[in-house]
Amino acid sequence: MGMLEKKTVRIECRSDRWRFVCPRGHRSWEPTNHHFWCASCARTDGVDGSFNELRDRKTGELHERERVRLVTPTGPYDRDLDGGTER
Ligand SMILES: [Zn+2]
């Protein structure tokens, strides 16, 4: 895989939800415009629920928000970030 290639994460896919977790290992994250946000972290005292790197439990790698291509059943989550936006 090339350095510039984005990691595709199907955010509503069960197997991807198990594989990709927040830095503390939760699966209760969701994307925001420029970060991710984890409900479990947000409930923890002294922990900010937002984070920027998704952890791949299979490889142990961290994937920055901008290096992740999020896909939903209806298409790309980040239409504006992934290009193809008509101006
Ligand atoms: Zn978390």
pLDDT in tens, 23-54: 999 999 999 988 999 999 999 999 999 999 99
When divided into structural domains, the chain yields a total of 1
Ligand 1 (ion): residues with CB under 5 Å are: 22, 24, 26, 38, 40-41
25: CA distance to ligand 1 center in Å?
A: 6
67 to 2, 4, 45: CA distances (angstroms): 12, 8, 29
Tell me if 12 is assigned to some domain.
yes
Sheet holding 20-21, edge to edge: 20-21, 53-56, 62-64
Residue 46's domain comprises 7-76
Q: With a threshold of 0.85, does the pTM exceed it?
A: no
85: CA distance to ligand 1 center in Å?
A: 31
In terms of pLDDT, which residue wins out, 83 or 45?
A: 45
31: CA distance to ligand 1 center in Å?
A: 12
> How far does CA 49 lie from the centroid of its chain?
13
Tell me if 62 is assigned to some domain.
yes
Tell me if 85 is assigned to some domain.
no
Give the residue-averaged pLDDT of 11-18. 95
Tell me if 63 is assigned to some domain.
yes
